[in-house]
Structure 1
Amino acid sequence: GHKRSTKKRKRSAKKRKRSAKERKRSTKERKRSAKGRKRSAKGRKRSVKGRKRSVKGRKRRQKDKAKGRKKKAKGRKKKAKGRRKKAKERKRSVKGCKRSAKKCRGA
């Protein structure tokens, strides 16, 4: 089956901000007290077998992500269109246009 990575869980355990009291203590002491709390996932291999995970949630998340990507792309396209329009207007407003006003409208 698909093995889920535990990297994220481990990292969050490592990067937890320690309090001043904790920082002052020696490493051995800290490790001793951490044993009771078991903050890191190390040394506790949890079995993945026999746990059914539904695909539904994952599918929904993927769909949501795709939707967001599409929306972002749409926004980018609109922005680009606006930029092009503005550039055209700027070109039109330049003095000393050699063409007649009628021709100049399309820049």
Structure 2
Amino acid sequence: MDRKSLLMAASLLVVTSLYSCQPGDDTVKLAVIDKLNNSPGITAQVKDGVVDLNGEVPNDSAKVAAEDAVKKINGVKAVNNNIMVEPVIPPPPPMPEDTGGQQ
């Protein structure tokens, strides 16, 4: 075997080994669920290493924190953050004081 063929075979072996070391979607999903354990209202789906986050959180920082946490998981290739932030509902205006019919 010449040097070029040997180098090509070794390169193919390295690439194949690195690819096969990536965790499967089920393993990634378990890690995502574990990482989001303290984030009620968020669900996740994983397909080909791409994580889709869905649900509703109270503020933007919770949305960003969930995405940042998931991005760090081994095997995650991309994150689609579809999490919605709950709208802020302003309090009702104060009721006019009752004057008891007198002016």
Fold agreement, TM-score > 0.5:
no
- Structure ranking higher in helix proportion: 1
Q: What's the TM-score once normalised by structure 1's chain length? A: 0.31
TM superposition score normalised by structure 2: 0.32
Higher strand share: 2
